[in-house]
Structure 1
Amino acid sequence: MALYLDYGATSPVRQEVLKSMLPLFSEAYGNPGSIHDMGVQAYSYIQMAREQIALALGATSSREILFTSSGTEANNLAIMGAALYHRKRGNHIITTSIEHPSVLEACRHLENTGYKVTYLPVNHYGQINITDLEHAITPTTILVSVMAANNEVGTIQPIKEIAELLKNRDILFHTDAVQFFGKLPCNVNEWGVDLLSIGSHKIYGPKGAGALYIRKGVRLQPLLYGGGQERNWRPSTLNTPAIVGFGKAASLFLDDLAYESKRQKEIRDYGWQQIEQLGDVILNGHPTERLPNNINVSFQRLEGQAILLELNRRQIYVSSGSACSAGKHAPSHVLMAMGNDLDNAYQSLRFTLGRETTKADIDYLLTELKKITHYLKSII
C-alpha cells in the first residue's frame, strides 16, 4: 500500500481542477493577450481565476492579484521588486532566519548590491519576538518579510501583530503564505499585509502557477521586461490552463476549509501522540500554533534520512525537511536557527497530511515506523 504524507511538498491535482483546465488546452487555447475572440475568451478565464483567488484571500479587488509562475517567483518579485523601487527611501530589509530559500536567497542577493538585511532570530518553537522586530527597525527600513507559517516545522507567526506594529510607518510588509494558504483562513485585509505570496500546487492545483497579492497603491519594480502583461509587473504570456486550475482549486477549498482544517488537526494530534509513544522522539515547532497538517519530529540517535529511505522502500513518502532543498544533505537551517544541535537537525522528519489522509493511514505509518526504528537501533 502506497501512503503519501508529503503534502507540504506538493499535492495531487483534484479531478474538478483538472476538468476545469482541459478546455484551455484544446478549445479555448487563444493567447489571453490577443484582441481577437479566442484571445478575449482566454482572458475571460484568467479574470475568473483572478476573482476566485481574490475571494479566497479576502482582497478588496481582483486587480490586487498578480499571477506568477510559482510561489518562489512571487517571493522574489515582492522582495526584490519592493527593494529596487524604494531604493531612494532606504536600503534596509528585515526578515527572519527561518524563511524559505526563495526569500533568503533574494535577500542575500540584495546584500551583495548594497542593501542591509536584518535576519531576526526565533525562539525554540520557531517564532519571532515582536520586540526584536521593533528594535530592528531603522529610519532606512523599507520592507519587512515574515512568513505566515514555516514550511518545515509548521509554526505560525504573529502576522496581525507585526502588521499592527508597522501600521502608520512607511514600511511595506510582505508575508510568504505559500504553506498557510488553503490550510487556515487567510484574509489580507484582516491581517493588514501589503504583499502576500501563494502557490497553486500546495492547494491541489497544478504546478506552474503562483500569485502575489499587491495591496492597492503599493509599487514594485518589475524583474522581467517584455510585452506588458500583468500591468507591466510580470510581462510574459500567461499560463492560462495552470492559472484557471489555480483559481478552481482556491474556490474549492473555501467550501470545506473549516471542516478540513479541524479534521486534519485531529489526525495531526493523533499522529503525534502515537509517534511520541515510540520514545526518544521530539516534536519540532510550536505544539499548538502550527499548521493543522504538519508533524515535524526528530528521532534521537537515528538519522532522519535513514528512516526516510526505509519508509520509501515501503512506499511511504515523507520529507526530511524542505523539498526545495531535498537534494542537499545538509542540516535544516530552520532547526538550527531554533537552537537545535547538528544531531537533532539531521534526525528530523516531516510528515504533512492532506485531504486523503485518515487515522488508519497514521496507524499504518506507526506500524512501519516501529519496525524501522527497532531495526535501526539494533544496528547502531
Structure 2
Amino acid sequence: MLFFDYHSTTPVEPGVAEKVLLYMTKEFGNASSTEHAIGDAAEDAVKEAKSHIANLVGASPRDIIFTSGSTESINLAIQGTVQHLENKDIHPRIALSAVEHKAVLDTCLALEEQGRVKLSILPVDTQARIDLAQLEQACASGIHLLCVMAANNEVGTIYPVKKIAHIAQTYNVPFLCDASQAVGKVPIHFKEWGITMLSLSAHKFYGPQGVGALVVKRGHPLEPLLYGGGHQRGLRSGTLNLPGIVGLGEACRLRKLEMEEDERAIREKRDRLQKLLTDKIPGLVVNGDQENRLAGNLHISIPGIPNSAVIARVRLKLAISTGSACSSGVEAPSHVLRAMNRDEDIVEGSLRIGLGKFTTDAEVVAAAEILSQTVHAVRAAMAV
C-alpha cells in the first residue's frame, strides 16, 4: 500500500514515537501534580515542549494553549472571541475566506445560524488566491475577527500571512490563522508578523494524532469552552495530554532543524510525479497556484472521470483522497473547487495527492503507474 495522503495525516517520526512511549510508560506524571518530583518532571516536560513549539512558529511559550488539535483550537479561538464580545453587548462580525477548512467554516456558519454573528465571505480566484484589496475593505468595514488560513488543505495554495496580518493590525482586527497545513512546512513568525491566534495539529507534521495547540497573542481576550480545574490559565481545563504534548514538542524541534531540506526534497518528488502523470494522462488538470503551493501538494482533476471511480479501483493499492479528511463520508463536492469557480467536470474529477518526507522515488514512479493505468481502464470501461 502506497501512502500519498500526507495532508490528512503523517507517519510519526521514529524519534517522536520513542518520546511518546517514554512518557506513556516511565515518565507518566500529571503536570498539575506539583506536590512531588514525578509531577515536577511532567511539568518540566510540558515547559520544554512549549519552548520547541514557540521556537518553530516564532511565539513565546506563554502564548501556547494545548488542545486536542486544530479543530478544538479553532473553536476555542472563534467561539471564545465571540462570547467575549457578546459579554460586552457587541454583535460580532466575522470575515473569512471562502476556502477555509470546515472547522472554520462550519463553526462560523453555526454561529450565524444561531443569530450570534454576521459573516462576510471573502471570495478567491481560480487558483484559490485571495484578493488583498477586498480583504482590506472587509477589515476597514469594522469587523471583529478575520479568519484566513496559512495554506489550503486541498489545493495547497499558500497565503501571504505576513501581509494579511499587517492589514488586520492596521484596522485593529484580531486575526485567526489556521496554520494546520503550514506549520513545519513553511516559515511562520507569529509575533513578528502580528498574528493574533494560530492553530496547529501535531499529526500534520510527523507528530502524534489527537494533540495540537492554539497560540494566542498576549492580551487577546477569550472565553473558555471547557470548565473544570482551571488549567492553562482557565482557557482549557483538563489534565494535560503529557505523551501527546511531548510528541508535539519533539516534532516541532525536528521540523525546525529539518524543514528546509525536507521540503526541498519533497518538492522535487512532487514535481516529478506531476510530470509523470501529465505525460501519462491526457487532459489532466492541476488545480491551485502552482507557483505558490505546499511542496507536498498535488491536486489534480481528470475531466470526464469521476473521482469515485478512481478511488474505488486504487483504494487497496494507493492511499489518495478526494478532499479534506474531515469531510470524509460526506458525499458533497469540494467547497474549495466550487469557490474557485471550477467547471463541474473539474470538481467531480478531482483527486488530492499528498507527499511527505518518507515518500520515496520508487513510490512516486509506482503511484504514477497505478493512477495512469486506472484512468485508462476507467476510460475504456466508460467507452463501452
TM-score class normalised by the smaller sequence = over 0.9
**Aligned with 1:179: secondary structure?**
coil
Indicate the SS of the match to 2:144. strand
Q: Could you tell me which residue of structure 1 aligns to residue 44 of structure 2?
A: 44
Residue 287 of structure 1 corresponds to: 290
SS in 1 for 2:46: helix
Alignment of 1:105-144 (within 5 A): 105-111=106-112, 112-137=114-139, 140-144=142-146
Distance in 2 separating the partners of 1:271 and 1:36: 56
Identity across matched positions, percent: 38
Matches of 2:218 and 2:133 in 1, distance apart? Answer: 29
What is aligned with 1:357? 359
Query: Which sections of structure 2, spanning at least 5 residues, go unmatched?
Result: none
- The amino acid across from 2:39 in the alignment is G
Q: Which residue of 2 aligns with 1:28?
A: 27
Could you tell me whether the CA contact under 8 Å between 1:90 and 1:140 is conserved in 2? no
| Aligned counterparts of 1:78 and 1:271: Cα–Cα separation in 2 | 38
Other-structure match for 1:337: 339
**209, 212, 224: which one pairs with 2:211?**
209
TM-fit CA distance, 1:114:
2.5
Measured in 2, the distance between the counterparts of 1:153 and 1:139 equals 30
The letter for the 2-side match of 1:71 is S
Q: Which moved more, 1:273-282 or 1:348-357?
A: 273-282
Residue aligning to 1:16: 15
Aligned counterpart, 2:53: 53
**Secondary structure class of the residue paired with 1:335:** helix
CA distance in 2, matches of 1:184, 1:166: 21
1:74 pairs with 2:63: no
The amino acid across from 2:52 in the alignment is Q
Superposition RMSD in Å: 1.3
Change (3 A) 1:48 1:202: same
- Of the three residues 160, 163, 169, the one matched with 1:161 is 163
Paired residues of 2:263 and 2:357 also in contact (CA < 8 A): no
Match for residue 309 of structure 1 among 284, 308, 312: 312
Counterpart contact for 2:140–2:171, Cα < 8 Å? no
**Which residue number corresponds to residue 327 of structure 1?**
329
State the AA in 1 paired with 2:177.
T
Q: Which moves more between the two structures, 341-350 or 136-145?
A: 136-145
Deviations 1:311-349 (A, max 9, x none): 223x21111111111111210000000001332212110
CA distance, structure 2, for counterparts of residue 189 and residue 276 of structure 1: 41
The CA deviation at 1:90 is 4.8
Aligned partner of 1:56: which letter? L
8 Å CA contact 2:157–2:293 kept in 1: the answer is: yes
The aligned counterpart of 1:150 is 152
Q: Which deviates further from its counterpart, 260-269 or 225-234?
A: 260-269
Distance 1:228 1:22 in 2: 27
Normalising by structure 2, what TM-score? 0.95
Deviates more, 1:361-370 or 1:144-153: 361-370
The question of whether the paired residues in 1 share the 8 Å contact of 2:139 and 2:167 is answered with no
Alignment of 1:195-234 (within 5 A): 195-234=197-236
Label 1:267 to 1:190 Cα distance change in 2 as closer, same or farther (>3 A): farther
Structure-1 residue corresponding to 2:82 = 83
| Residues in 1 aligned to 2:141 and 2:369: alpha-carbon distance in whole angstroms | 56
Give the match's secondary structure for 2:345: helix
Unaligned runs of 5+ in 1: none
